[in-house]
Chain A
Amino acid sequence: MHEMSIAQSLFEIIDETMRQHGLTRVTHVRMRVGEMAAVVPDSLEFCFEVLARGTPVEGAVLEMTVVPLSGHCASCDTEFRAPERTFLCPSCGGGDVRLTGGEELHLDELEGE
């Protein structure tokens, strides 16, 4: 359970961005969370709300887009989705697979005034 640490890092970036851009209120926070980022969206949302309380971020909507796990096989040059969290290429069975999505924990956009 390290969602509180993640939420704190998120707030550091939000505070910094608010200062830089002269925002007095944040209304939307848009993130991309990989399926394998070891983050539980509900839990992150809870921590976000706790930290937002009494700040200019209170009431902001945290929008999380979950990014599916996907990979690229170097042996047969195939892109694939890995819904079962398998890491072997479904086409050739090879293991020389680079993950192309599913590990991200990105803050994409802030909306505010």
Chain B
Amino acid sequence: MKKTINLATEVLAKNRDLAEDNRRLFAERNIHAFNMISSPGSGKTTLLERTLTVLGDAVSMAVIEGDIQTDNDAARIAATGVPVVQINTGGLCHLDAAMIRRALEEFDLEHLRLLIVENVGNLVCPSSYDLGEHEKVVLISVTEGDDKPLKYPGIFRKAGVMVVNKIDLLPYTDFSLERVRANALSINPKLEIFELSCRTGEGLEGWLDWVRQRAGAGPA
């Protein structure tokens, strides 16, 4: 007999529920979590290295590294002395809430104040998967072009923060900071924007203050 079943459910409802569980856990433990998303090679790991090197002693932090293969990034993070768990997705283009929950079991959550997730390098797929984080931080670098927010509106709409990295390379490209700001703000007027160079250290202080505030450590 023919039957029609009305479901009206989100396809990713299971991930959404698991993300809610993570969010509850973060709230109970007073942990702030953010999720870093960018194309491959924008400088997520380098920005993390710089951040952890400066703040590692002052703030209790942990990092979850998402990569398709290798633990190269986790090794770079571990060298800063901050606890890190590597997730290898084996081809999958994003992290999901269940992976985060499993990785959290590896950390001592008692004293943890700040959890940073470095997602798989990809501007599309990670934007669909809520991890339970407080905000998404999207990174772009000046060699990628200032129209990136227009090409990938989904992630720029969902992010709370945009970091523009590699500004030391501005003289060698046609990238315009003004244009990238205008493009990003036309997608998401509430975006907080940091422009910096991990290589020279220019502009890093503003970003570090933001991270300190998120960890409840206040500005410098």
Contact = CB atoms under 8 A, between A and B. Distances in A.
B11 A9 contact: yes
Contact of A5 (B5, B92, B124): B92
Contacts of B15: 9
Interface residues of A, number: 34
Contacts of B8: 106-108
A12 B14 contact: yes
Interface residues of B, number: 33
B200 interface: no
Contacts of A39: 128
Interface of B: 1-15, 92-94, 96, 124-125, 127-128, 150, 153-154, 157, 185-190
Nearest to A36: B154
Contact of A105 (B11, B94, B124, B157): B11
A109 B7 contact: yes
A2 B11 CA distance: 13
B128 A9 contact: no
A86 B11 CA distance: 26
A2 B94 CA distance: 8
